């Protein structure tokens, strides 16, 4: 119990560090020539980092054998949603000053914004149903619903890739990390499919 509490404290500290740094830089006028662009980029990176760390929890648990790591997935996922909201609000409030006609136009006509917005929308039901009550209520459907995090993270990586017009090095790093994390899930997916096929076979035999 003490170890998981220390890990949770570490998660909160690490997850809030980007926000703390951003606030300090804003208060010290250290956001560069285009502070809105800096805030947008910073909050987007924080959200994407949290999403990738969330996906890394399950493989890390299997590799290390520390099952308590799974209890860190929910807070990290919620931090990802938190930074995604900050990212979106920076764009809507600070950049466009609540001009929703332009927001809608951008979503419909600019592909990188389209996929970014879809990634955000997919995170909403995941954040809402992250409580123990929803887990009990949804049962097996909860895992199916929360598989949307893979789609959302993939779209977030694509959003970052399309947003960068010249230097693709950082998006490439995130894309590679995402690909590796998905590949690490293949053995587990094969095992799950095999169990389902055996269960279906037993049901037909019975």
Residue range 90-133, pLDDT digits in tens: 999 999 999 999 999 999 999 999 999 999 999 999 999 998 89
Q: Are 155 and 116 in contact (CB under 8 A)?
A: yes
Helix 111-128, helix 100-109: angle, nearest 10: 110
* Burial (CB count <10 Å: 0-12, 13-18, 19+), residue 76: buried
Q: Which of 194, 124, 122, 130 lies closest to 154, judged by CA?
A: 122
Q: Which of the 8 DSSP states describes residue 129?
A: T
Return the higher-pLDDT residue of 112 and 197: 112
Averaged over 167-171, what is the pLDDT? 88
Return the higher-pLDDT residue of 186 and 175: 175
Return the higher-pLDDT residue of 113 and 69: 113
Domain count for the chain: 1
Check whether 29 has a pLDDT greater than 80: yes
Q: Are 74 and 130 in contact (CB under 8 A)?
A: yes
Percentage above 90 pLDDT, the chain? 69
Helix 35-64, helix 2-27: angle, nearest 10: 170
pLDDT at 124: 97
Check whether 138 has a pLDDT greater than 80: yes
pLDDT at 2: 73
Q: Are 106 and 113 in contact (CB under 8 A)?
A: yes
- The range of the structural domain enclosing residue 46 comes to 2-205
pLDDT at 203: 55
Q: How confident is the model at residue 85 (pLDDT cuts 50, 70, 90)?
A: very high
pLDDT at 204: 56
pLDDT at 165: 74
């Amino acid at each position: 119990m003490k170890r998981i509490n220390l890990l949770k404290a570490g998660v909160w500290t690490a997850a809030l560090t980007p926000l703390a740094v951003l606030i300090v830089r804003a208060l010290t006028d250290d956001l560069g020539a285009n502070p809105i662009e800096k805030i947008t980029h910073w909050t987007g990176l924080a959200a994407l980092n949290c999403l990738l760390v969330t996906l890394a929890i399950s493989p890390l648990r299997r590799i290390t054998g520390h099952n308590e790591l799974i209890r860190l997935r929910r807070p990290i996922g919620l931090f990802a949603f938190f930074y995604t909201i900050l990212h979106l609000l920076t764009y809507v409030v600070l950049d466009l000053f609540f001009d929703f006609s332009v927001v809608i136009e951008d979503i419909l006509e600019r592909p990188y914004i389209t996929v970014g917005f879809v990634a955000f929308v997919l995170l909403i039901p995941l954040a809402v149903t992250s409580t123990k009550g929803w887990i009990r209520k949804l049962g097996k459907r909860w895992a199916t619903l929360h598989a949307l995090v893979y789609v959302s993270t993939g779209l977030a990586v694509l959003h970052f890739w399309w947003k960068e017009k010249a230097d693709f090095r950082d998006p490439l790093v995130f894309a590679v990390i995402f690909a590796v994390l998905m590949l690490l899930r293949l053995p587990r997916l094969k095992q799950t499919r095999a169990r389902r096929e055996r269960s279906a076979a037993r049901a037909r035999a019975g």
